[in-house]
């Protein structure tokens, strides 16, 4: 009995990865992303990505962090590789604005130019993670307005807190000394960003 179950499991995995997934991807038209989520690690990008993915007019990529623009190995695979990895075969019939989220685009020196080469000059909204936590619906609606979509009450939004893999990373609140040390370390880098943007977001 265990051998039969094991073989059946192997066949199911083989069918999904080698047959079902490629067929569903072929049904999805090629499409460049309409926008990107770019942010620092552990700054709420997963929460933002998962929340926006539930909107009926927004379509999140199958893989959150494709790392196309930041990793030379992926970038050299070409635009077709990127577009293929954007396809969400779990939602082949959903239509909407396509997007992905890769935090390391923000800190990678080559990513900005590569993104510019593909998209041209675009407006970039800057979000404060504290506002995302305290006023989640308000922040999400600001993003919808930025994308020329109508605001909504987000009643369809599933509760994500405590269920995602990132939410389980911290079992205890950060210690005050550690928080102060991190704030001091990133202060000079944040100031460079504020000077570049011409505004401060009070990080």
Indicate the number of domains in the chain: 2
Summarize pLDDT for 147-193 with one digit per residue, the tens: 999 998 888 887 654 444 554 555 677 888 888 888 888 888 888 88
Residue 110, SS3?
Answer: coil
- 196 plus 109 within the same structural domain: no
- 48 plus 143 within the same structural domain: yes
- 70 plus 40 within the same structural domain: yes
Within 8 A by CB and 6+ apart from 45, the residues are 37, 39, 64, 101, 103
In a domain, 12, yes or no: no
- 111 plus 199 within the same structural domain: no
Q: Which domain holds residue 189?
A: 173-203
Please, which residues bridge with residue 200 across strands? none
- 125 plus 74 within the same structural domain: yes
Summarize pLDDT for 15-27 with one digit per residue, the tens: 556 665 565 566 6
Query: Residues 56, 141, 114, 44: what is their CA dihedral angle, to the nearest 10 degrees?
Result: -100
Q: What angle do CA 106, 109, 114 make, to 5 degrees?
A: 85
Query: Rounded to two decimals, what is the model's pTM?
Result: 0.66
CA atoms within a 13 Å half-sphere pointing along the CA-CB vector of 64 = 19
């Amino acid at each position: 009995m265990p051998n039969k179950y094991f073989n059946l499991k192997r066949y199911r995995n083989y069918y999904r990865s080698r047959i079902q997934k490629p067929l569903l991807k072929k049904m999805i038209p090629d499409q460049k992303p309409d926008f990107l989520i770019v942010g620092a690690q552990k700054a709420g990008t997963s929460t933002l990505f998962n929340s926006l993915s539930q909107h009926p007019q927004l379509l999140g990529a199958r893989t959150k962090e494709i790392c196309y623009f930041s990793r030379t190995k992926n970038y050299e695979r070409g635009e077709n590789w990127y577009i293929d990895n954007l396809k969400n075969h779990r939602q082949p019939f959903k239509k909407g604005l396509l997007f992905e989220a890769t935090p390391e685009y923000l800190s990678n020196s080559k990513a900005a130019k590569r993104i510019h080469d593909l998209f041209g000059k675009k407006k970039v909204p800057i979000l404060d993670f504290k506002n995302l936590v305290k006023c989640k619906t308000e922040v999400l609606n600001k993003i919808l307005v930025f994308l020329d979509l109508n605001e909504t009450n987000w009643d369809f939004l599933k509760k994500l807190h405590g269920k995602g893999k990132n939410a389980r990373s911290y079992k205890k609140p950060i210690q005050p000394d550690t928080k102060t040390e991190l704030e001091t370390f990133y202060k000079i880098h944040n100031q460079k960003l504020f000077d570049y943007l011409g505004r401060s977001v009070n990080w």
